[in-house]
Amino acid sequence: MVTKDSVAVAVSAVDEEDLPYDEWLQELRFQVNEERGVPVHTEVTTLLQKLRMEQEECRYAFRLDYKYDVSLEETNVKELRRKADQTPDKYKICIFRQDMTGRAYAVPQDKKSADEIPIMSKKRRGHALNSDKVLVEVLENKDEQEVEESHDAEREIKISGRVVGIIEHNANPQIHKFVCYLDPRINNVMVPINRSFPKMIILGGGTSKNSAAVVTLFEKKKNKAQTRPERSPRREVEVKYAERHHKLFVVCYREWPPKTPYPLGAVVEELDHGDTEQNGLKILRLVHGIKDQCEPAAIEQMHQAFPEGWSIPDEAVQKREDFRTTKTIFTVDPPESTDLDDAISCVCLPGQRYEVGVHIADASYFIQQDSSMDKDAYERGTTFYHPFGGDAYHMLPKDVILRLLSLLPGQDRLALSVIFTLDHEGQIIIDQPIIYTRSVIKSCKRLTYADAEKLIVDSNSTSNAHMCVAEPIRYLDKLSRHRRLQRLGDIHMVYNTDDDDEGALSYPHAHVMIEELMLMTNNAVAKQVLSRFPECTPLHRQLAPSQEKVETWKRCHDKTLRNSIRLSGLADPNHNDAVLGGQEAGQGGADVLVAAEVWQKVRECCESKNASRSHMEDMANLILQDENHPQHALAQFDLYAIMESAEYVVSTSETTPEKQEHYSLQMRAYTQFTSPIRRYIDLVVHRMLVAGMENSKCPYTAEEMAEITHHYNNQHTKSKRFGIATKELKLALKLKEAPLQVTTFVEGITESSMKLLIPYRRYIQSRRREIPFSVLQPFEKPVVNKGFTDVQVTWKCSMYDYSRKCQAESPASTRVTNSDVPFTIPEDKWQEILQSIKSMYRDGNVEKVRTAIGTALIHAQPSDNPFTEEEGSRGNFQRSYKLGDPCRVQMHAQMMEGMLTPKVQLFNMTPHLDICADHRSQPIQCFSRIATNIPGREENIKEYKSKWLQILSMISCHNAVSNDDTIIIQNVPITWRKTSSEFTGHFQLEKNFLKVNHIQIWETRKVIKYYLCIHLANLDVETKALLQIKEYDNREHRHHVGPFNAKDWEKQTCVLHCSILKDEDCQDCRTFQNSKSLPVHFVVHQKSVPLPEGSNDHHVASTVEIISKPEPIR
């Protein structure tokens, strides 16, 4: 019987452009009738009519888009500005934004960045591109109110906007290249991976004889007489339906003609899949528009001005302070760093005073304003870093950095030095002015953060290699800790951790020392430049979050807030006493939930005999890091969501101080000066500081500075996104070698899905962390509470344990103690721990911390069992999920949009049951393959059968998984066999076991009725895979272990998707048949990892999920 679902699946596998739609419907009707010998069922006819109607509606909408005439937009810039001046409430000058997800909005320039005007359709955006300056008409028609779904409820958007005209393009789109894949249904439309750019209609293309899409590749033909480069066809590439989302191309923008919904483009390159480091970086570089090489003219100009062998001229030395022999200057950087742009020095003066010097490479001497090199650096804006070994994409040529700028030891270098005089508590002494001077320096040592940390924490260290800098390092550490305390209050105890550290402390004292010195210098330079050029100083500001949003956040996380030093401090920076007293905390409080991995680490640290300060700080860090604790991590995530983004703005005399301050840093004025080798804005500040020192006029106008800050903000955002994407790629490449089992916390709950928060892996995109309830396949619709903080999920699951052959099993019997269950700590005991940590940092009392944690260990209890079994309903059970609840998942790598990406493969539902999200979300790829040939016009019966069997195979596995008629049997001994071409296996089920448990399967094996999903748990990760994974961890702190990565890639679960063989297809069927057992033989269609060595012809206990095909499709 042909069902409605089967036809829908078949339709989804066919591209409407491959065949005229009416003709395809007729072919389908004819073939179904001919094959079945009966008229098409009424519901199928209805479905086909509905599909045809939807297709016509789609085409009509597309024609409407074409009718949109953008020539109606204003093109006169003066007229646009006049409208904004005369009716500012109706017309606003805005920056048009379209984010990576495709959401379009406009940010008014007369408002703070949090105010957005939604642009609800393609028509209303006109031809505006991301970051263009546009005039927006504010629409308030009540009849056209749009509804947007928010996190906790649906809210009405009161206003929206329409782009009236473009005032200024942010950049010329013709110089950019876009990485795209084919639209799922239209052969001549490309979809950019970066959705901040619209789809593009491509030149050429069509359909091949075997119904595959054809993409024409063009090449540039330069012609001096032409204003625009022409392109000529080079070759054609066929793209089958299964490849449409994964085959990537580079498309160049040509133009955006009137009356077209999308711009025109030409495909110029076909890209390999991003499944290697080299290919992945190339794709991401193109996606984010990163130039990997400097312009030849800029490099040539630098070589002419500063040829090989160049040395500092005597006249330049004479105009500067010479610190080469008078100060002990050194650098502290990661071992792989090449752009050493900051060095430090410290001398103890009489009267408990200290002279602290911060020396920054003088890039402004070498890179003249408006030179070719300056323009190239401006366009790049910043250095783009990635987590792999090898060079970053530097803002400046590497040769220029190494020969002229980088403060390498033993090399004479030009610098801009800022000299402070501090008292013994790190305060700048007012009667000693800060000295800003151009200088010549020579670094005596290049320290890594590991070297500096060892000198700081080990006062007895007598390494001859670093003896000359040991005393200055310790002075600077003490001063920096004082300054951090004064700036942050209690938060000074909470160190920053990198994503790759997984919460472990990575040389915290060395990092804090450098961070505080650079913050002090940037703050001082900001004040100095601002005093000299109050109308033109670039300030790095972060506005305070909306008080209304903060109060809402406090109400949501009140009980969590008072048990976190960092969160309470961030919510109220002026409140220095971040934690409550023990008695007050106990009133109406709630226990603190701690992840099992973290509590185990705390226990190990507490039981250790190591009583050193650094060891106790490691233990304190486990408590203080909010991301270690489920409820704290959720509160931190929500807090960051309401924080304003930091950005550069231009100072004016009319700007109030609170509009210039940096909220998180707690500084009234801040800029960036200390990294001119890798940030263009620092180079600009250098020039302004020098102009102020020399009493010259400002080198930039206010308009030029506005353009610089706007461009730098864009490039900085791009750099952050590139860094996040490359971290995700790095994880995916590791997952390609072996899957990873991780602890996650429930971040969000909606009617249709749960979103997971993965501690210290915030770079994983939101959509990769989402678990639709449809994937979990509950028995009934999940019940979500009103506040979207809790959901009850019910399953009907037939689950058995084959090792207990004579006993009937139910899910209730699987509820055993789980080692991953989080612990609850009474709030008063938690507060005692926090108070003891404060005491340790205040007066050095380390034993008080150990005592408080020891007491909490006694009172800690495993959290409640989240499972319940419905009375009188054997096989039905529930689990509740609350915001912040820990969940275990296994992640693997999957190809999405041409890039290898992390994805949840297994979702741990009970301690002994993992739900396979893989085959539930992609049944066809797991048990079959996507059909590549469309039925129609077959020349013979063999071709006819081949095409239809592909489609019927897709329908079969799709309907089998959707039907959710499964049986799970644990501890089944399976024998595996590997041949040159395939993996096969077999197992036997005793008929008595099937009878006792009322399992009725395999009455006949002449027809294949089942698919299998097999899990082999607790497998060791292969040595070869571990070695490859370690090659990616090439950073300095790779040996640091946090609570969540202590067991990374120790164990894995192999997932295999298999099809059962018919008797006639299996040569061994007769061998294993006997009267007491039922043999099952299968072939592996897909496996996630290699089977363990020695598994050939050996029994391996496995969990088998038997997926039954519905009767009509067997």
DSSP assignment string, 546-612 = PHHHHHHHHHHTHHHHTT-HHHHHHH-TT----S--HHHHTTT--PEEE-HHHHHHHHHHHHS----
Q: H or E segment at 253?
A: strand 248-255
Q: For the residues of 355-369, what is the DSSP string, one character each? A: EEEEEEE-HHHHS-T
**Cα 184 to Cα 861: distance, rounded to the nearest angstrom:** 52
**Cα 917 to Cα 894: distance, rounded to the nearest angstrom:** 12
Task: Look at the chain and count its residues.
Answer: 1114
Within 8 A by CB and 6+ apart from 537, the residues are 526, 529, 530, 650, 651, 671, 688
Cα dihedral: 214, 220, 221, 226 (round 10)? 110
Q: Strand, helix or coil at 442?
A: strand
Residue spans of the chain under pLDDT 70 = 1-74, 111-115, 141-158, 220-232, 461-464, 498-503, 573-589, 805-820, 865-875, 1002-1008, 1034-1041, 1063-1074, 1094-1099, 1112-1114
Q: Which fold would CATH assign to domain 740-811+863-888?
A: OB fold (Dihydrolipoamide Acetyltransferase, E2P) (2.40.50)
Q: Enumerate the domain spans of the chain.
A: 4-67, 73-287, 300-534, 547-643+824-860, 740-811+863-888, 965-1113
Within 8 A by CB and 6+ apart from 1031, the residues are none
Within 8 A by CB and 6+ apart from 558, the residues are none
Token digits of residue 674: 């200390």
Question: Under a CB-based contact definition with an 8 Å cutoff, are residues 189 and 262 in contact?
Answer: yes
Nearest residue to 914 (alpha-carbon basis) of 989, 824, 1015, 814: 1015
Question: Under a CB-based contact definition with an 8 Å cutoff, are residues 685 and 359 in contact?
Answer: no
**Cα 413 to Cα 410: distance, rounded to the nearest angstrom:** 9
Nearest residue to 129 (alpha-carbon basis) of 82, 178, 80: 178
Q: State phi, psi for 581 to the nearest 5 degrees.
A: -75, 160
Question: Under a CB-based contact definition with an 8 Å cutoff, are residues 787 and 152 in contact?
Answer: yes
pLDDT of residue 963: 84
Burial class of 852 by CB neighbour count within 10 A (0 to 12, 13 to 18, 19+): buried
Question: Under a CB-based contact definition with an 8 Å cutoff, are residues 131 and 95 in contact?
Answer: yes
Burial class of 275 by CB neighbour count within 10 A (0 to 12, 13 to 18, 19+): middle
Helix axes 680-693, 702-737, angle to 10 degrees: 150
Question: Under a CB-based contact definition with an 8 Å cutoff, are residues 404 and 411 in contact?
Answer: no
Q: For the residues of 911-966, what is the DSSP string, one character each? A: TTEEEEHHHHH-HHHHHS----S--SS-SSHHHHHHHHHHHHHHHHHHHHHHHT-E
pTM score: 0.86
Amino acid of residue 388: F
The alpha carbon dihedral of 794, 795, 801, 807 has a sign of positive
pLDDT of residue 48: 44
Within 8 A by CB and 6+ apart from 842, the residues are none
Start-to-end Cα distance in the chain: 10
**Cα 589 to Cα 828: distance, rounded to the nearest angstrom:** 8
**Cα 344 to Cα 518: distance, rounded to the nearest angstrom:** 10
73-287: which CATH number, 1.10.3720.10, 3.30.1490.20, 3.80.30.20, 2.40.50.690?
2.40.50.690
**Cα 411 to Cα 340: distance, rounded to the nearest angstrom:** 12
Half-sphere exposure at residue 500, Cβ-oriented, CA atoms within 13 angstroms: 20
Nearest residue to 630 (alpha-carbon basis) of 882, 903, 866: 882
Buried residues in 578-592 as b, exposed as e (16+ CB within 10 A): bbbeeeebeeebebb
Q: For the residues of 254-289, what is the DSSP string, one character each? A: EE--TT-SS-EEEEEEEE--B-SHHHHHHHHHHHTT
Q: For the residues of 877-890, what is the DSSP string, one character each? A: EEEEEETT-EEEEE
Question: Under a CB-based contact definition with an 8 Å cutoff, are residues 775 and 964 in contact?
Answer: no
Nearest residue to 363 (alpha-carbon basis) of 315, 302, 322, 292: 302
HEC profile of 651-701 = CCCCCCHHHCCECCCCECCCCCCCCCCCEHHHHHHHHHHHHHHCCCCCCCC
